[in-house]
Amino acid sequence: MNRAVFLDRDGVVTADVHLLTTAEQLLLLPGVPAALRSLKDAGFLLLLVTNQTVVARGLITEGQLDQIHQRLQAMLQAAGAPPMDGIYVCPHHPRATLAEYRVACDCRKPRAGLLRRAAKEWNLHLPGCFMIGDRITDIAAGAQAGCRTVLVETGQHLAPAIETVEPVDLKTVPDWACADLSAAVRWIREAQ
């Protein structure tokens, strides 16, 4: 079975831009290329898992979001990082502007649907995997899937929880907390 590191996008891999709707807004955070290379060298698959309510709000289409992620892959490679092995997106929101995205899905973090879908597709052993995120919803999704979790304390970890169908358990505790992706990767490399 394979091992993976699940990574939230905004605040972990890229700068957290409120309502990112264009590829021009993408900015890789410092240390990301080397951190991703270190994970890949350790034998982990790199899987991006991200809630993207900009689709549910009608600000961009799923096709436009795919183009943003294609640009992200190109930016990673240009910076010397390995590309993501997979990108998993939840476009839904409980109060979506567009009715077709207003569903109680299993993929919106803190639910673990994105991680479980990836586990089936990549034959992952989830207890051997890690989830890195900057919000309690990322940590809850990782814990629900059976992964070890790392909270990157960017400031968003202190923000109110995102809107979800059911209440988020604010008492969820990560296995590790640190300042950035580089520190998260060092802990993962030691913990494996």
CATH number for position 23: 3.40.50.1000
Tens digits of residue pLDDT in 11-37: 999 999 989 999 999 999 999 999 999
- Number of domains making up the chain: 1
Determine the structural domain holding residue 91 and report its residue range. 4-191
Nearest CA-CA partner of 90 in 76, 103, 79? 103
Residues annotated as catalytic (active site), given as ranges: 8, 10
- pTM exceeds cut of 0.75: yes
Tens digits of residue pLDDT in 42-82: 999 999 999 999 999 999 999 999 999 999 999 999 999 99
Q: What angle do CA 188, 71, 43 make, to 5 degrees?
A: 25
DSSP notation for 70-125: HHHHHHHHHTTPPPPSEEEEE---TT-SSGGG-S--S-STTS-HHHHHHHHHHTB-
CA distance 117 to 34: 27
Evaluate whether 23 touches 65 at the Cβ level (below 8 Å).
no
